[in-house]
Amino acid sequence: MIFAKGTILPDEQLPQVLGQLEEDLIAVRGQAPLFPRVVIDACQRLLERLDRGELDALIAQYATPQLLSALEQYRHLLRPESLEYKLSVETGGLLSVEDRPFGRTAAVPLGTLLHITAGNLDGLPAFSVVEGLLTGNVNLLKLPSGDSGLSVALLKLLTDTEPRLAPYVYIFSIPSSDRSSLQALADLADGIVTWGGDEAIRAMRAMAPAGCKLMEWGHRLSFAYLSGAGRGEDLEALAGHIIQTGGLLCSSCQVIYLDTADQDQARRFCQSFLPVLEGAAARFHQTPGQAAMATLHGYEHRLALAVEGSAAQVFQGRGCSVTLCPDQSLELSPLHGNVLVKCLPRHKLAAALFPQRGRLQTVGLICPPQQREELCRLLAQAGVTRITSAAHMSEPFLGECHDGEYPLRRYLRLVDVEASL
Amino acid sequence: MLERQRLFWSAHPYDLEGTGEKFLRAVRANCAFHLKRCPEYRSIAQALHFSPDQLQTMEDLAKIPVLPTLFYKRHALFSMPRSRMAMYVTSSGTSGKFSQIGFDWGCVFAEIPMVLHLGWTHGLISPKPAHCVILGYKPHKSNRTGVTRTMYGLTYFSPPISRTYALQYVDGGYVPDLDGVARALDKLGRSVFPTRIVGFPSYLWFGLKRMEELGLRVRLPRGSKILLAGGWKQHYSQQVEKSVLYDLAGRVLGIPEEEIHESFGAVEHPIFYNACKHHHFHIPIYARVIIRDVNTLEPLPMGRIGLVNLITPLMNATPTTSVMTDDLGYLTPGEECGCGISSPYLTLLGRVGLGDIQTCAAGASQILGKGEGF
């Protein structure tokens, strides 16, 4: 399946579309620029149709429970005021022409963005393209393998709603193994936006022409940091987060770090946290499959510890587990409601997080209010990019950066123009 | 090691009651063998306080250390050096992690009577030569997947005249050639010899759909059969109503439902499970199945849904005595089937969790055995 200039085409036409693409991209560069207003209005009209129930059939076709909750969580980000706010925060006012001592500076689209997207959230490929559209870029989207078709349906709706967007969206469902087609797309891009793990990022780095800009949204690790005993509601929120995200998100808590060096205190924490986690498991595991997944991964982890001769201690709960580890390194948890606990006094934060400094994302910080500033500073210096309450580790915030960067800023190029003499 | 051969050379492949003692003895010997030779297995047994002498009754089988298939994907466990193994195969994970399992010669020797007894019981063996169409991988020295081995083996139930493969090895990778298969079937329809189609159910489905699109209809000679095989996964990804698939096979190939035969196995548990005439997978004497509670892993009574734990003393090269798949399933008393086989049958309900789990936590995709899905 190919989507080009507002039309869905069969795969057989790939050679023709690729052969014609350079000419099409050059033609768009010669046209009047695409203003953010056009994209914002189109998104608004789409949201209105959604509210009127006109898209119910489409939703019914792709709706998984995961998608419906994601839609609920993210839909406010597509509202005009949200998109306008995102634009103003992320571009820092660069979209208007700025006067400079030598003349002026203008921001223009980078040109053509190739989006290599991951399948971890349905509809994410479409979101990546909307970011590219907001900055006026032409978007070449390579769908993740096993894509549900939702992104294509959404982008088709968007270009149907606003035909002026049609020349700016191309979608290809080519497999990653089709290196020659992927290379052809990379050769035409001014920037490559890669979502995915190390393998995808390395592959795209190798394919990017030397002058091509790389925007990489790689996989991340997140954790919770607990100083003091923590309030009951914060610990409950953390437990809910651990069970609900299953450790699978970039922002999911993998390790609960305790601001202490005392293993006995940590053991008491594990004993008291386990029932809280079990309560969350009982509440949020709705199918036997989810409970089975939690049990299976926790059990597998126990066997692995036995084989390694590890000194870690497992506190097994119903549909979850807590493992007290003797070390301090940030690592992936056994997932699915099985979480790690480690002692990490605050003065050792920088050293313990150093090996993962390029992969850090969210910290769910639980601490007494008077210590929050100091801990935020230490955590920020250690390399994290988001500090939230335990309840909001995986909540999107309006105007937040993405892994420490403003994506829209990166999708633009600045042009300095000297005033005429 | 004769305990294992005594079990596998027994005459009646579904006489569970009559072979209980043989099974226990073989399992005890098998556990002792792995404990002595596989240090990782020994560590696990110690952590779980298990020793083979605890196996006195059939109920005690639940005490054998259960290793999840997930575990084999992350740890290669062997109880003998590679040089003493007959074979070394992997599960068919195309991306991400896959299990590595060794097969010893005694295991291969024990599999022969198992396959022959079951093949005979289920009417798969025929002296009449047949052409074979394999909807799977063409064997190649770089391909170590267990399913390739199984499908190749299935072509020997009758003397094979020719073999046509749907997945051809070209320039270091496999490419599907469904059109080639469709053309071959068209030709085989005019042969005097029957055809045997061996393959993944999903490939059969796509192949038949493709033939229908091309307007190809074939009347394969009488005695032609379809043998569906595959790992666990292939049985319900691309899940198609069985009756729809059977209708299509009848329409496009002229093969009636009673000539369509299903089997399954897993690399970590290479027991030849066959569907009876009512399409139920009864447990043969070479294995026992325990269904375990999804929260506590305690054994559940017949009929209850839980995690599927498969036990067999078949393998010496890798400790796979008791493995747990990531499937949910349940057991039903054999008498309720009505096919005449008295052993209970296993119904698989699919993988645990919500279909395809995707993740963006660093390193998690490898753990989940999914590659990176890029």
Q: What is the ipTM of this complex?
A: 0.85
Q: Which of residues 72-111 of B touch A (CB under 8 A)?
A: 74-75
Mutate to test the interface with B, among A198, A221, A299 (most CBs of B within 10 A): A299
Cβ of B361 within 8 Å of Cβ of A247? The answer is: yes
**pLDDT score for B92:** 59
Cβ of B297 within 8 Å of Cβ of A291? The answer is: no
CA-nearest residue of chain B to A319? B295
CA-nearest residue of chain A to B39? A307
Q: Which residues on B lie below 8 Å from A246 (Cβ)? A: 357
Q: Which residues on B lie below 8 Å from A304 (Cβ)? A: 71, 74-75
How would you class A51 by CB atoms within 10 Å of its CB: exposed for 0-12, middle for 13-18, buried for 19 or more? Answer: exposed
CA-nearest residue of chain A to B75? A304
Sign of CA dihedral B79, B82, B88, B93: positive
Q: What's the pTM value of the predicted model, to 2 decimals? A: 0.85
The CA distance from B303 to the nearest CA of chain A, in Å, is 15
CB A27 within 8 A of CB A185: no
| Residue in A121, A199, A318 closest to B372 by CB | A199
**Overall residue count recorded for chain A in this entry:** 421
| Residue in A196, A199, A295 closest to B297 by CB | A295
Instruction: Name the least confident of A83-92, A412-421, B134-143, B361-370.
Output: B361-370
Cβ of B362 within 8 Å of Cβ of A309? The answer is: no
Task: Band the pLDDT of B353: cuts 50, 70, 90.
Answer: low
User: Which residues of A173-244 form beta strands (DSSP E)?
Assistant: 191-196, 213-218, 221-226
Q: Which of residues 342-361 of B touch A (CB under 8 A)?
A: 351-354, 356-361
What percent of chain B clears pLDDT 90, i.e. is strictly above it? 47
Cβ of A335 within 8 Å of Cβ of B368? The answer is: yes
**pLDDT score for A94:** 76
Q: B173 — contact with chain A (CB < 8 Å)?
A: yes
**pLDDT score for A120:** 66
| Residue in B43, B305, B361 closest to A248 by CB | B361
Task: Band the pLDDT of B374: cuts 50, 70, 90.
Answer: very low
**pLDDT score for A66:** 66
How far apart CA A254 and CA A339 sit, in angstroms, is: 6
The CA distance from B154 to the nearest CA of chain A, in Å, is 31
Residue numbers of chain A with a pLDDT score lower than 70: 63-66, 119-120
A404-407 own/partner pairs: CB under 8 Å, 24+ apart: A406/A89, A406/A90, A406/A91, A406/A92, A407/A90, A407/A131, A407/A193, A407/A215
The CA distance from B70 to the nearest CA of chain A, in Å, is 7
> Please, what is the angle between helix A150-161 and helix A36-51, to 10°?
110
* Token code pair at residue A292: 């089975």
